[in-house]
């Protein structure tokens, strides 16, 4: 059993990741903290509180940073909807829950002090809360079991600017501050999460099947995924979507599904074109490694586990192999020796 604290900018894929974590007996969900990213933190917090209600989660929710450490907030309503769940809360007039805390960083530090080497932090959004927690007590954060960060792109193109991944792009100063304080981060990057694609027909079928398990959740996922998939159809020209955050949670559910390599990661915070870029040196030379990067994972076992737990439906391995793995090339360069 792994004790997990999730920091999230929920968001559609975050929502699925939280359901996956809450449905995994391998995980004891300690707390959920919220941060601005996909949408402002007030929307993120309402999404997590709504999930807490319909999943009957007994975990504390603490809201956190509403803006990045040193720059204006950039959100992604075009990807996740103004409310962060594809318009579900807004169109169903879900009443907002009154919520005023802004103590996520302090609560992350308390959890790190209380549970240290038994605590895994899974960060699914910009690293603003994490950086604030490091600023309060770096030593406490250094002693947690591991920090899994969905974020970064190291060998391919980005999903925000040409060379940046959203979570790091929104708050590169936070990512740089965490790494510069000797906190080892395990990155689950776009290079990996964009290799796995969920076709719309399969997801729609899964959501239909999940109605018996939890009709309220099925209604939320139907609306949220429809909006999120439409974004992917417009921009990625794929009839489906990537689910980045559930893959990051999977690294806590079953670390054996992943291969991480030691690396020295630098975060660009100044470039006109490259701010938010994550640069990895895998050569382990002069300076010590400050992070690990997931370079491979067992997609078949993950997809079967994820779909069974979240939707209560099984996906056959042949379908996964045939329909879910993208050949998304991360490099366009090749050489021929003949």
By a kind-dependent CB cut-off of 5 to 8 A, residue 129 interacts, out of ligand RIB, Ca ion, none, with: none
Q: Site residues for ligand RIB, window 21-60 (CB under 6 A)? A: 37-38
String of contacts with ligand RIB for each residue 162-201, x by CB under 6 A = ---xxx----------------------------------
| Nearest alpha-carbon partner for 152 in 14, 286, 295 | 295
3 state DSSP class of 71: coil
Q: Site residues for ligand RIB, window 113-152 (CB under 6 A)? A: 124-125, 150
3-state secondary structure 248-273: HHHHHHCHHHEEEEEEEEEECCCCCC
By a kind-dependent CB cut-off of 5 to 8 A, residue 165 interacts, out of ligand RIB, Ca ion, none, with: ligand RIB
By a kind-dependent CB cut-off of 5 to 8 A, residue 159 interacts, out of Ca ion, ligand RIB, none, with: ligand RIB
Question: Considering only 7-15, 82-90, 253-261, 295-303, which stretch makes contact with ligand RIB by CB under 6 A?
Answer: 7-15
**Binding footprint of ligand RIB, residue count (CB under 6 A):** 15
| Nearest alpha-carbon partner for 185 in 57, 315, 316, 280 | 280
Q: Site residues for Ca ion, window 277-296 (CB under 5 A)? A: none
Let me know the angle formed at the C-alpha of 156 by 44 and 35, rounded to the nearest 5 degrees: 15
* Pairing mode of beta strands 185-188, 291-297: parallel
Which distant-in-sequence residues (6+ apart) come within 8 Å of 247 by Cβ?
150, 188, 192, 193, 196, 297, 302
Active site residue 244: yes
To the nearest 10°, the Cα dihedral for 168, 20, 33, 97?
Answer: 120
Summarize as ranges the residues that interact with ligand RIB (CB under 6 A): 9, 11, 13-14, 37-38, 124-125, 150, 159, 165-167, 244-245
Q: Which residues are catalytic?
A: 244
Summarize as ranges the residues that interact with Ca ion (CB under 5 A): 9, 11, 14, 124-125, 245
């Amino acid at each position: 059993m792994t004790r997990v604290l999730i920091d999230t900018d929920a968001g559609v894929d975050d929502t699925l990741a939280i359901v996956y974590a809450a449905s995994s007996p391998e995980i004891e969900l300690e707390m959920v903290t919220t941060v601005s990213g996909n949408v402002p933190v007030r929307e993120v917090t309402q999404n997590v509180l709504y999930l807490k209600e319909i999943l009957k989660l007994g975990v504390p929710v603490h809201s956190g940073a509403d803006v990045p450490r040193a720059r204006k907030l950039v959100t992604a309503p075009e990807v996740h909807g103004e409310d962060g769940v594809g318009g579900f809360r807004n169109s169903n007039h879900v009443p907002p829950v009154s919520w005023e805390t802004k103590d996520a960083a302090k609560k992350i530090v308390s959890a790190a002090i209380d549970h240290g080497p038994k605590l895994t932090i899974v960060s699914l959004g910009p690293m603003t809360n994490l950086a604030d927690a490091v600023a309060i007590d770096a030593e406490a954060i250094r002693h947690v079991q591991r920090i899994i960060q969905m974020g970064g792109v190291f060998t391919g193109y980005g999903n925000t600017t040409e060379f940046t991944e959203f979570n790091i792009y929104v708050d590169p100063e936070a990512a740089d501050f965490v790494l510069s304080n000797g906190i080892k981060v395990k990155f689950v990057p776009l290079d990996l999460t964009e290799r796995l694609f969920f076709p719309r027909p399969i997801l729609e079928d899964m959501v239909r099947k999940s109605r018996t398990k939890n009709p309220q959740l099925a209604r939320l996922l139907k609306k949220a995924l429809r909006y999120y998939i439409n974004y992917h159809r417009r921009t990625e020209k794929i009839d489906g979507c990537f689910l980045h955050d559930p893959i990051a949670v999977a690294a806590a559910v079953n670390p054996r599904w992943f291969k991480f390599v030691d690396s020295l990661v630098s975060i660009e915070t100044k470039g006109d074109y490259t701010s938010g870029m994550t640069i990895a040196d895998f050569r382990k030379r002069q300076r010590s490694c400050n992070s690990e990067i997931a370079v491979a994972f067992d997609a078949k076992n993950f997809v079967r586990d994820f779909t069974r737990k979240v939707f209560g439906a099984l996906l056959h391995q042949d379908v996964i192999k045939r329909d879910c793995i993208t050949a998304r090339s991360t490099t366009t360069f090749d050489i021929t020796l003949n």
